[in-house]
Structure 1
Amino acid sequence: MKRVPMLSAGHAAVDFYQGAVPALVPFLVAGRGYGYVAVSGIVLAATLLSSIVQPLFGVLTDRWRMPWLIPLSMVVAGAGVAFGGVTDSYALTWLAVALSGLGVAAYHPEAARLARIASAGSHVRMSWFSLGGTLGFATAPVLVTPLLAWWGLGASPFLAVPAVLGAAVTLPAILATAGGERAATAAGPASGRDDWPSFVRLTLVIVFRSVVYVGLSAFVALYMGGGAAGAVALFVLFAGGAVGTVLGGRLAARWGRTRTMRLAYALSIPAVAGVALAPGPVALVFIAASSLALYAPFSLHVTLGQDLLPSRVGTAGGVTLGLAVSAGGLAGPLVGAVAEATTLRTALACLIVFPVLAWLLARTLKEPALT
């Protein structure tokens, strides 16, 4: 049984809803007349609530094994988006989208814990699990936009289909992995001492990385001129992220996680600088390089965090997959404010400082000595 590919498919299904909520925004504006503040509140309901609650679910999964939470959370995430598109009440729409974010938050800590078990310590396999989430998020606008453009918001219930399919595909892998975990637990508990200082530094690395990537994803299309050129830039950014996720796992298998992280963040510094400074279409090369470098350590963050907190792998997964990643996104409005006060090129140039900070902090991290 290919448990990791099955879990990766489930990861794609649940992260589809993180990308689906922003894709709903233009249709809520056109169909219901919501203003920018109103739709910003809806997006915030999904992203901020998910990032805050996710570590709490991590704490719960550290105390109690809850594999059943994975398919349930996927269905909840899908149901929230499906209902949010058909209700006419802003309050109900907000609550439905918040419910979807709650489902996404509930999924990640427990799923990351089981993926760690299923991958049996392989960085390559864990990178495939992470790749599922990247692809799910990136493909959401491709599926949501044509569906709602053709049928309108009334077709939103069809958006629950990926959640149901994902839960069905993932269920056999969950049962098999949870069964193997019970046998391993009976043989003896996980050993090792939690290294909180290193985990805090790793969390800051992820936040700095998130600031850069969210800033690029939010403004690179406009920077390249919008329209077809902007769409190409976003495709390059997302495609580079998918390739970088798998590449990072393979490099870590050969060189180790911390060495791969340091190399990736060192390379991201000139890559991000090139995005802001290179002329015209040449910037696409640096967009691709930035995405590769920023996503190469993505799955390594999760496994390293779990190894730094061996007695709290759920908490580690909740922070590295949720809170730290979303916290970086809070800097997005600041990047926009700099762009309005100066130029978009200047705002993107300001992002260069964050991969420098990530690289400096990554240099202080060492592979945990597991016993």
Structure 2
Amino acid sequence: MPWNRPIVLLSVGHACVDVYQGAVASLVPFFAAERSYTYAAASGIVLAASVLSSVAQPVFGVLTDRRAIPWLLPVSTILGGLGVALSGLSGSYPLTLLFMAVSGIGVAAYHPESARVARLAGRGSHSAMGWFSFGGNIGFAVAPLMVAAVVATGGLRFSPLLVVPAVVGSVLCLPVLRALERTTAPGFGAPDAKGTDDMVSFVRLSLAVVCRSIAFVGLSTFISLYARQRTGGGTAAGTTALFVLYLGGAAGTVLGSRLASRWDRVTVVRMSYLITVGAVAGTVFAPGSAIYPFIALTSIGLYVPFSLQVTLAQDYLPSRVGTAGGITLGLTVSIGGLAGPLIGSVADATSLQTALTPLILMPALSWLLYRGLPEPATPKHLGTPVPADDDPGVPAGTVRRTA
């Protein structure tokens, strides 16, 4: 990808926000150990962070389609970090849920506007959106290491230290906001409202994202506990499993944008979901340490579609790219949380393996929903980015319109 300073900064900022989505699942084993939560109660924490986010993200998407709200980037970053940081301070379960809900709202506010800005900064490029999404994946991957370093050392009472990435991320957003104010490129700082919407295809894609979300959030909520069961290991075994799940996502996102350069996005996404069916099955049934390669393959398979689905959704709804980004990015990490308590309840009544087995069907359903979806063309008016390193006279991130 050509050097694009706004995309780089947005990618790092995305990492600083999504580290808190990963932190919620990473905190589950510590809540279970320190506060003796059941599977169902622990998954309720993930639900609290997810349910408001799943509802709020499309709302914020609609707002950003009507008016650019770039100040949401630093404010929502702080809000997302503050909720997680406060979650470990009170032994009250309702307060813990409230703090996680606050974090979820912060995450919800961030994604639609940042996805809209990333699309404009990258001029609709799959590669640019892939790098923006890559930042979020890195945030997910770092989360279990960050939580383990802080909470495993001093317990949940050390959770306020987890606010540090939010402070860093909010500061890094400021140069992006200044670039938005300085740029003279038409449409860069305002909502993009050109093109004809394909609502039927968008709804089918959204349903596929929901199925993918259930698989990913279900695994991310319980994979740490499950890996400890399967391997007979302790905290390190669980942290490693979650790290592999999230790091594989970063690799999958980059791979997805590369594959989309050779084949169309719909074909790449369908192939990925089909492969993921077997990978999830291996994750659920592989014995001992053999679980780890399947976790990695599952993560890659679920994340190859990640950025591609965002650009597909925006191309299906070119007049409402904020809404499209809010729904796809939001549903990817939110709606799946609604299934968490059900998985936890089944695990409490039977076993964690039994509860995770239905997740094998989720990528298969996503594959079916993608059958027959058209490959839309990226609107030509988005143009191409100007590599600042190749044109010293052009400020970093400035774009040139193309015919």
- Evaluate the alpha carbon distance shift between residue 254 and residue 178 of structure 1 in structure 2; reply closer, same or farther with a 3 A threshold: farther
Q: CA deviation at 1:13?
A: 0.6
1:125 maps to 128
Q: CA deviation at 1:356?
A: 1.7
CA contact (8 A) 2:196 2:318 kept: yes
For 1:22 and 1:283, the matched residues in 2 are separated by 19
Post-superposition Cα deviations, 1:24-65, rounded to whole Å, max 9, x if no partner, equal 45555676x574476555443322111221111111111111
Asked if 1:269 corresponds to 2:277, the answer is yes
For 1:226 and 1:115, the matched residues in 2 are separated by 43
For 2:141 and 2:82, the matched residues in 1 are separated by 20
> Aligned partner of 2:18: which letter?
D
Structure 1, 131-140 or 9-18: larger mean CA deviation: 131-140
Match for residue 230 of structure 2 among 214, 224, 248: 224
CA contact (8 A) 1:74 1:163 kept: yes
Match for residue 143 of structure 1 among 125, 128, 146: 146
Q: CA deviation at 1:85?
A: 3.7
Structure 1, 7-16 or 142-151: larger mean CA deviation: 142-151
* Structure 1 unaligned regions, length at least 5: none
- Evaluate the alpha carbon distance shift between residue 140 and residue 325 of structure 1 in structure 2; reply closer, same or farther with a 3 A threshold: closer
2:314 maps to 306
2:262 maps to 254
Post-superposition Cα deviations, 1:306-344, rounded to whole Å, max 9, x if no partner, equal 111111111111110113542123233444455566655
Structure 1, 321-330 or 60-69: larger mean CA deviation: 321-330
Using the size of structure 2 for normalisation, the TM-score is: 0.81
For 2:200 and 2:112, the matched residues in 1 are separated by 21
Match for residue 175 of structure 1 among 172, 178, 182: 178
For 1:243 and 1:82, the matched residues in 2 are separated by 28
CA contact (8 A) 1:203 1:324 kept: no
Residues 1-371 of structure 1 aligned to structure 2 (within 5 Å): 2-25=5-28, 33=35, 35-36=37-38, 41-86=44-89, 92-177=95-180, 179-180=182-183, 183-184=186-187, 190-217=193-220, 218-219=222-223, 220-222=226-228, 224-227=230-233, 228-339=236-347, 344-369=352-377
Q: CA deviation at 1:104?
A: 1.0
CA contact (8 A) 2:44 2:341 kept: no
For 2:289 and 2:191, the matched residues in 1 are separated by 57
Structure 1, 143-152 or 2-11: larger mean CA deviation: 143-152
CA contact (8 A) 2:231 2:288 kept: no
2:387 maps to none
- Evaluate the alpha carbon distance shift between residue 348 and residue 78 of structure 1 in structure 2; reply closer, same or farther with a 3 A threshold: closer
Residue aligned with 1:121, SS: coil
Report % sequence identity: 56
> Aligned partner of 1:316: which letter?
A
Q: CA deviation at 1:243?
A: 0.6
RMSD: 3.0
Structure 1, 136-145 or 123-132: larger mean CA deviation: 136-145
How many corresponding residue pairs? 370
For 1:178 and 1:169, the matched residues in 2 are separated by 15
For 1:23 and 1:274, the matched residues in 2 are separated by 22
* Structure 2 unaligned regions, length at least 5: 380-403
CA contact (8 A) 2:230 2:287 kept: no
- Evaluate the alpha carbon distance shift between residue 42 and residue 338 of structure 1 in structure 2; reply closer, same or farther with a 3 A threshold: closer
For 2:190 and 2:146, the matched residues in 1 are separated by 46
- Evaluate the alpha carbon distance shift between residue 343 and residue 144 of structure 1 in structure 2; reply closer, same or farther with a 3 A threshold: closer
* Runs of 4 or more above 6 Å deviation: 185-188
CA contact (8 A) 2:241 2:295 kept: yes
> Aligned partner of 1:47: which letter?
S
Q: CA deviation at 1:16?
A: 1.5
Residue aligned with 1:48, SS: helix
Structure 1, 298-307 or 91-100: larger mean CA deviation: 91-100
